Structure 1
Amino acid sequence: MDAAIYRRLDELFREGTGEHCFRRRPNYDRIAADLPRATVDIVLYGAIRSTHSGIDDRTSRSGHSDRHADQRSRGMITGTGRVALVTGASSGIGAATARLLAARGMHVVVNYLHSEAAAEEVVAGIGEAGGHALAVQADVRETAAVENLIEQVQARWGGVDVLVHNALTPYAIKSFQDMTWKELGGKLDDEMRAAFTVTKAVLPTMTAQRWGRIIYIGTGLSRRPREGMIALGTAKAALAQFARYLAQELGPWAITVNVVEPGPVEDTRIAGVLDDENKRRQVAATPLGRLALTGDVAQAVAFYASEDNAFMTGTTAAVNGGMAMY
């Protein structure tokens, strides 16, 4: 039977394109005349259909057509066809996430604030690897700027299916006793304003198609305080609770909302706060024996962004090598 399956799979691909073959149904009328061949077709159809059920079943359950399925059938989009917006994607975790999502077939919007050259370098690298990406400048705290970003994306690829909100707004590193309300309250306002603004902008498409993925990048500092990091830790704790409320509200539209909370990550701004001695202590406290890499964080984000994550929402992934377990 294994040999017959491989032979029939080869025949199916010769009869039409791979995309067409994935969607074709076996001819059940042939069963009586050619039982072995029809049985192989049924086995193949069931196996292949199950791997694509995230596309077809979404349409049948919701009663809404999948605009990406339509575009794929016209050859307009390759891979998953999903459009992902990654804020703050010119470097660090954002850049690693943009590259990984593009490698997995998504069309990626590389958002940046000031670093145009770095963002274009990320886009160029994705293109060289055969992916699709677009760099768009926007301050995600500003409604008009985000609306303009969304308009550019819609003109190019349609609405945003996946939001990865990674942009890190400035914050003061000092003790509470030395901190002003402008420094603490300003960080809280920036953090929540950015999350509010960019989330509001992407929801119309997600609710209309009854599918979406929202991932916020938090920090372990929201749970485990560290000296001088009260502004960042408090703001990210607010973001994590915001995500849980959204998860509860948006569940009926099949929109999942989750948080990825890294510990210290090499080659990022937060890691730069640690001197060599602090880094050694952090590594010593980590069961896996090293600090996180940007790619480690990107892998967690990519799972939350994928079709595979159909039933996890309101959760937090701690990417810290076991430094904190929760």
Structure 2
Amino acid sequence: MPQEFAHRRAMEDVLITSWSRLDDDHFSLTAQWPHDHTYFTPSHGRHHPLLAGETIRQAGLLLSHAELGVPLGHHFILADLVYTTDPERLTVGTGPTELTIDVRCSNTRMRAGAMTSGHFDMTIHMDGQIIATGNSSVTVTAPAVYRRIRGERLSARHADRPLPAPVEPRLTSSAHPDEVLLAPTDQPGRWLLRLATGHASVVNPANDHIPGMALLDAAQQAARVITSPNSFIPYAFGTEFRRYAEHDIPCVIEARLVPSAIPHTTTVQVTGLQNAEPVFVSTLTALDARE
């Protein structure tokens, strides 16, 4: 899979390895989850909690470009990204984990042979067993339309300015301070987003806004901090994106515990705000530690 189809700059960040069309709206893909990736680092012997979300994102982009007529250079607006994993089946081995992905497209709108919006439902298998399910909805805009939408923001870029001090890396399960996306504030459950240099796999300098995967990572880090010292490894992750996250406006990350619908689980809701308006809202659920 060409890295431009995944909107990634390095081949090592591309997870999808092949694809085929089964019928008009049904596709089969293969993928690999790395066991030694410098960014998607395993946690507690299990694959990184964002890998399922990144796989769904890349699969949708690939099919949009390769099968649904979307030209490279068009812009994707992600409305939501929702997935649930089987934590007992996410154990990391000594090599890459081989996967197959069943994808069904729905609510697909086409114009001049190219998709303008659609919904993707995915089931991820390993060794014939379901290890994750998820879905996402996207809207696609041509460059001219995107320029009108973004206006002066189109030229905005991530600036390499001094970063505020991070929270302790152990609280976010980060291997290095450069991987921490949260800076402490004087209010509990609130942090400032810090885009650290250690996130080259999800932060593209050419982006005119903060990418969604960086926001998801900030959400799972915030959930880990607010539940510390307990271990919080989300198996269910749902995010709604409300608006673009801008580079030049402070982004406040708020996390709070919310009632969990499933016994023996903990649920955290994380909201990103700019100018007091929600940019994204994530709900993360993890299994409680066994006695």
TM-score by length of 1: 0.27
More strand by share: 2
More helix by share: 1
TM-score by length of 2: 0.29
Larger radius of gyration: 1
